[in-house]
Chains A and B, each alone.
Chain A
């Protein structure tokens, strides 16, 4: 049995560990970004008294004439076309609903869906009008901040290490064992409550710890970053990945590989 107790360590500011020269321009709501009126205002800003003021807490990003503030931690804002993973908390009670749905979807179930429309009060309506969406079976859910999920062409990834992952735009990450055969004709959901093999379990647990590690280090989540992090963590035991010293080591290696890949 393993038992580890330690004294807490002071957190180092991120820019120190990265050795970044340019410091990000951080603002809080109410801060003046600029008094120059020549800029177009983007998300997270508003015009007041001849100057541009930030409405969220985050870092200022400038693209030519457009200034916007990227928030560090946000509630999820739905956009049409986003993939989300969600849990059913309550449902409409009507006669047809009882007859049709209750046999299939219960309270507490997880589903993957796509955003169909956004209402003015922020509520979203979802659809599962494709065979790749629907009820989710066995797997692990990790909840992260929505701002850390990178927008990509597809959010369903079958990773080469042996598991699949759905990166929901709302911050819900679903890691599950890759289904053996994809029925093109059948489709739909078949409740599979068979025990998952030990090898698959190890891959899923490792991926789960890698996702938690990336989130703790405030790195963007997408298939490449998760994969590089997984590969960097292989020399260590699964339960050791979240120890502070080992986390730093893995993150450094992942960052390096991502920089090499970009450059």
Chain B
């Protein structure tokens, strides 16, 4: 992870500030920085989204391709995640430097989606045991400004909301050979329901309190963090502890309650923003990267 070096006095200042619920930029312990979300930014994908959270910038693209279902789950499609830490984000990611962080983030994404309710995988099935849709979700880290996991999970949810999978029909003729027919209308497509897609809330323990949405400086003062993946109904799907410090069970319980509270508000804001963006329709002014 990109890191900054701080002097002892600076760390003491940050820790004392967190104790009094006044962080360096004036936020409280449970306040997020302003988030900017835009979908449909990459034209040759099935769905895409770009999320800016302070200095953190994430781009996610989803491509739907036809393939064979997995042997143990013949009636379902599946998702594949790949995370690329661009060298533009920080010089530490130059060459193979970003691979370790990339695999860590990808493994976390696999874990949070590894349950029956996050995405309806049965809707991705075309014909059992033969054809299904595979969604390749590619995450690109453009800039690293702290709180990567939260931003990535928001971007993945927005990109899945934006994904449009073409409708296909399986035609069987007299000899029994199957043909797959793609609909002629380019706007005839199926959408995924992202009601139960979880978002990650990262809580960093600083001193004896915990903060949400830590900047790089705050992450340098925290020895232990908890990554909690929460759905819009407040259900925790997965939890992971990072950092070399230790957490006592009471703190973990408090942090989990915090994350459920924060997670629900996060989902409500994201859903309303995505619906608002969609209601603007094709007349929406696209900002993209040069706006």
Contact = CB atoms under 8 A, between A and B. Distances in A.
A87 interface: yes
A241 interface: yes
B154 to A, nearest CB: 8
Given A3-B265, A6-B35, A242 B25 contact: yes
Given A7-B36, A198-B22, A2 B28 contact: yes
A6 B32 contact: no
Interface stretch (B5-13, B75-83, B101-109): B5-13
Interface stretch (A46-54, A57-65, A136-144): A136-144
A154 B266 CA distance: 46
Contacts of A37: none
Given A8-B52, A237-B26, A89 B9 contact: no
Interface string A214-254: 00000000000000000000000111011100000000000
Interface string A75-119: 000000000000101000000000000000011111000000000
Q: Max chain A CB contacts within 10 Å: which of B25, B270, B287? A: B25
Given A6-B273, A243-B34, A1 B22 contact: no
Nearest to B22: A201
Contacts of B35: 3-6
Contact of B266 (A3, A89, A198, A241): A3
Contacts of B266: 3
A31 interface: no
A202 B27 CA distance: 11
Nearest to B20: A198
Interface in A104-159: 106-110, 136-141
Contacts of A206: 26
B67 interface: no
A35 B13 CA distance: 56
Nearest to B16: A195
Contacts of B32: 1-4
A5 B270 contact: yes
Contact of A239 (B20, B31, B287): B31
B283 interface: no
Contacts of B5: 87, 89, 107-108
B24 A140 contact: yes
A242 B276 CA distance: 23
Interface residues of A, number: 42
A196 B15 CA distance: 11
Contacts of B8: 106, 108-109, 193
Per DSSP, chain A at the interface is loop
Contact of A209 (B25, B37, B287): B25
A49 B35 CA distance: 51
B34 A138 contact: no
A138 B31 contact: no
A239 B37 contact: no
A30 to B, nearest CB: 22
Contacts of A108: 5-8
A201 B17 contact: yes
Nearest to B51: A5
B269 interface: yes
A237 B265 CA distance: 21
A233 to B, nearest CB: 10
Nearest to B284: A7
A202 B262 CA distance: 25
Contacts of B16: 195-196
A70 interface: no
A11 interface: yes
Given A10-B287, A198-B20, A137 B25 contact: no
A205 interface: yes
Contact of B287 (A8, A109, A139): A8
B13 A196 contact: yes
B71 interface: no
A243 B31 CA distance: 14
A3 B28 contact: no
B30 interface: yes
A201 B20 contact: yes
Contacts of A198: 20, 22
B191 interface: no
B22 A205 contact: yes
B7 A87 contact: yes
Contacts of A87: 5, 7
Given A139-B9, A202-B26, 8 more contacts: A1-B31, A3-B35, A7-B36, A7-B273, A107-B5, A110-B10, A136-B9, A239-B25
19 contacts: A2-B30, A4-B269, A5-B37, A6-B35, A6-B36, A6-B37, A8-B291, A11-B291, A106-B8, A108-B5, A108-B8, A110-B7, A138-B9, A139-B9, A139-B13, A198-B22, A201-B22, A208-B24, A239-B25
Interface of B: 5-10, 12-13, 16-17, 19-20, 22-28, 30-32, 34-38, 52, 212, 261-262, 265-266, 269-270, 273, 276-277, 285, 287, 291
